[in-house]
Structure 1
Amino acid sequence: MNKSLIIISKPGETTETMIQAADPEKDIFYVAADNVTISGFNVTGTNKSGICYTESGGIIAGNKLVSDEYGIYLEKAENITIENNNASQNGCGVYFSDSSGNTLKNNEVSYNWLYGKEYRNGIFLENSSNNKLTNNNLLRNWDGIYLSNSSNNELNKNRVINDYFCIRLKNSNDNKLFGNTVKSIGYSYVITLTKSNNNILKDNSAGFMTEITVSSDLESKNNTLEGKQHIRR
């Protein structure tokens, strides 16, 4: 679609209006216009994206995205609000590529680690900056939240319970991680920093009175930790 629209499921049928891929090699929703709203759909069954957004100013809210390569995919998108969605059993739940100024809040993101998929992450930001991730619940994804080459993002009050890495930064600088709750089932390091500098980690926890171990390589410098967190190299 290439013009501004509001696309909402029938009243009273939120996430019960199923849209299944007619061609599994194409995106189900592909948005190439500003200010498009997509709300209230159950989107499933594509080897591409359930919802792909490439412009600015839109809203993606109250959708369920299951068994897609990417549940929600932003590509060079700006100022998009993504809220109250459920992304589960995809290759990657939410993926930002070269996208900035977006808000991701109050979403449920779980079990996104399908084998054979290119990415297996709950939320993945790549080459993306100035985004805000707030109050999202992530459960048993391969990587919970992964930032690669992404700077000046804010991760606030997210809850991550994961088999592998909860929050992972690689080549990512000047990010703020405040008040996140993280717990790893399989690894002792719940937050990892690789070649990542000048990040601030404050008041993150693994539960009541539990200290967080942050893994940091020797090429990560000038990171600030406040609260019950310590770095191990």
Structure 2
Amino acid sequence: MKVKLIGDCLSKLISAALVVALLLVSAGVASAEVIYVEPGASIQAAVNNSTTGDFVIVKAGDYEENIVANVSGVTVTSEPENPAGVFIRARDENSSVFQVKADNVTISGFNITGSGDFFSTSGAASFRNSINTGNSGEPDVTEGQEAGNTYGPGSGEIFISRSNGFDCPQAGICLDQVENCTIERNYIFENQYGVYLQNSINSTLSNNTCFRNGVWIDEGCSKNTVKNNSIEEGNFILGAHCWDNVIFQNRLSNGGGIGIACCGGGNLVSDNDIVNCSTGIDIYDTQGRTVLSDNRIKDCDYGIYLILVFDSRVYNNTISNSNRGVFLRENSQSNELFNNTITSSNESGIYLLDYSTDNRIYNNYFNNTLNVKAENSEGNIWNTTKTSGQNIVEGPYLGGNFWADLNGTGFSQTTEDSDSDGICDLPYNINGSDFDYLPLAKPPVQPEDDQLLLIEYQITTNESYQGNPAIYNDWIVWQDKRNGNQDIYMYDLSTKKENSDHYQ
């Protein structure tokens, strides 16, 4: 491995630990070189001097430039001893700070800012006012539209490609028609877009923090993985015709949430935390199955919003303190929603509108002032076949849903379960002709660990009356009138023998 120096660093020593680390990383790449960039020198010059497999190591300092990474297989990273010490600001605010135009490139460990006007959370919430289907059902961009055919907030611009197909937009990092690239451990703040992908596949975005910008994956991007990132006051957008992408274990807060545009499918959105966003997860007109699972959504206007969505699976999500927990509209059909917990919604736990029918909705826990609101959306299925197995409230059978309310007077909380099978004795009328025929019943109260739950019951068959049971050490004590007298009986748990005392 060779070492090149960009800038005045002849008088400085290279860390032995750093050299060892790079030797380990580059093992097996005999021709790999390490190129160091000192403050005041050009990162672009270092990239231009690199070849496949090289490492460009940027020393701590402030840099002002726009970098085009057009060398396949190059790694551009901050020095390991000070990964937070490299600040790169766009020299030209109309261009991306990093443009990646070659495959197998890694960008890692930088603070990146200054490309375009940074994200506005009010802009993220403009979705309801910017998209109108009109009579054709096709979206068109409008100004301030507040009429009936308006959609929920969160991904207000997901139908509009931000790229002209040739150049990168204003972004912290832009991947332009590449594959197998890695963007990791960067702090990307106050750009128009944090990370932007166009026509790129098989790339990974991990452990980045975006502040006042977000992640935008434009049309035609497939098989990318976005995991363990934090987006504050921004959003995540997956554009049209995107297939088989994974959005996993990210945290989004105080912005626009996750939006998925039309005509793609096979995408997985799982194990994300979404807090105080206009919409938690917003999906429009997907063509293949989308899976939303194990997400935690809190304090959003809408929890999960499905528009013209078919054959999606929504399960194991927890949604709390939203205006509407789950919203299906505009012919959202043949979706399966199960094992979700939806609580404390201000308007409704689930809202079905405009011929959203033939959806299977079962084994969910609803605890809201109004659990279901449905308009022109009868014909949904609210229970599965009664099947042995633990349900969402730990009962012994799967069936329908658990219907609670915040006052403790919900259907499942008050309806009798005479045979203790965990299913209410009566069906629950959802709306018109729709019923949950197997509503889940309130489970029996279980004692906490190391506590006994004392229940009055007859210990021996010849006793006529028992009352006032109590436990004292190893004794069960109760009153009994078996002989016409008010006697006290005691059962010794250690010897399994009964004693009695008669009193007047």
- TM-score, normalized by the shorter chain, greater than 0.5: yes
- Deviation for aligned residue 1:171: 1.4
Of 338, 353, 363, which residue of structure 2 is paired with 1:226? 338
* CA distance, structure 1, for counterparts of residue 187 and residue 84 of structure 2: 6
Aligned partner (choices 37, 46, 70) of residue 2 of structure 1: 70
Partner of 1:19: 88
- Is the contact made by 2:319 and 2:325 (CA closer than 8 Å) also made in structure 1? no
Deviation at 1:104, TM superposition (A): 0.5
Indicate which of 162, 165, 168 corresponds to 2:276: 162
8 Å contact from structure 2 (residues 221, 243) kept in 1: yes
Is the Cα contact below 8 Å between 1:165 and 1:184 reproduced in 2? no
* Structure 1 runs of 4+ with >6 Å offset: none
CA distance in 1, matches of 2:203, 2:98: 15
What is the CA distance between 1:163 and its match in structure 2?
3.3
Higher relative CO (CA 8 A, sep ≥ 6), structure 1 or 2? Answer: 1
* Residue number in structure 2 paired with 1:103: 225
For 2:296, the aligned partner's letter is T
Quick one: distance in 1 between partners of 2:298 and 2:90?
A: 35
Please say if 1:151 is aligned against 2:265: yes
**Which residue identity does 1:84 align to in structure 2?**
N
The reply on whether 1:35 has 2:148 as its aligned counterpart is no
Which residues in structure 2 correspond to 1:81-96 (within 5 Å)?
A: 81-90=204-213, 93-96=214-217
1:80 aligns with 2:203: yes
Instruction: Report if aligned partners of 2:280, 2:297 keep a CA contact under 8 Å in 1.
Output: yes
Aligned to 1:59: 182
Percent of aligned pairs with the same residue?
30
**Partners in 2 of 1:177 and 1:57 — Cα distance?**
25
Query: Partners of 2:108 and 2:84 in 1: how far apart?
Result: 8
Equivalent position amino acid for 2:313 in 1? I
Question: Match for 2:106: what amino acid?
Answer: T
Matching residue of 2:325: 213
- Structure 1 contact 170–195 (Cα < 8 Å) conserved: yes
The superposition leaves residues 46-80 of structure 1 with CA deviations (integer Å, 9 ceiling, x where unpaired) of: 01010001200011000010010110001000010
Distance (whole Å) between structure 1 residues aligned to residue 318 and residue 198 of structure 2: 32
Aligned to 1:201: 314
Alignment correspondent of 2:418? none
Note the C-alpha offset of 1:12: 2.0
Amino acid of the structure 2 residue aligned with 1:106: N
Give the aligned residue type for 2:187. K
Contact 1:64/1:86 (8 A) holds in 2:
yes
| Cα separation, 2, equivalents of 1:35 and 1:20 | 24
Letter in 1 for 2:279: F
* One of 285, 290, 293 as aligned partner of 1:175: 290
SS of the equivalent of 2:318 reads coil
**Paired AA for residue 95 in structure 2:** K
> Which residue is equivalent to 2:237?
124
C-alpha displacement of 1:218 = 3.4
Quote how far apart the aligned CAs of 1:231 are. 3.5
Deviation, 1:111, is 0.7
C-alpha distance in 1, partners of 2:309/2:82?
44
Cα–Cα, structure 1 residues 163 and 155, in superposed 2: closer, same or farther, change >3 Å? closer
Partner amino acid, structure 2, of 1:200: R
Q: How far 1:135 moved relative to its partner?
A: 0.5
TM-score after normalising by structure 1: 0.89
CA distance in 1 between counterparts of 2:85 and 2:268 reads 32
Structure 2: distance between partners of 1:190 and 1:8: 37
Which amino acid in 1 is paired with 2:216?
Y
* Alignment deviations for residues 184-233 of structure 1 (CA, whole Å, 9 cap, x no partner): 34x2x3110011111100100026xx9x8210113211111011356412
Structure 1 gaps, min length 5: 113-121
- After TM superposition, give the deviation of residue 13 of structure 1 in Å: 1.9
Q: Secondary structure at the match of 1:206?
A: strand
Whole-Å Cα distance in 2 between the matches of residues 222 and 184 of structure 1? 28
Q: Which structure has the larger Rg over C-alpha atoms? A: 2
1:138 maps to: 252
Tell me if structure 1 keeps the 8 A contact 2:112–2:189: yes
Structure 2 contact 92–115 (Cα < 8 Å) conserved? yes
How far apart in 2 are the matches of 1:145 and 1:16?
30
Distance, in Å, in 1 between the alignment partners of 2:276 and 2:245 is 22
8 Å contact kept, 1:15–1:62: no
Once the 2 structures are TM-superposed, how far is the Cα of residue 16 of structure 1 from its aligned partner? 2.4
Report the Cα offset of residue 170 of structure 1: 0.9
Q: Is the 8 A contact 2:304 2:326 kept in 1?
A: yes
- 1:50 is matched with 172
Q: Say which is worse superposed, 157-166 or 58-67, in terms of deviation.
A: 157-166
CA distance in 1, matches of 2:91, 2:273: 35
Q: Distance in 2 between matches of 1:8 and 1:43?
A: 12
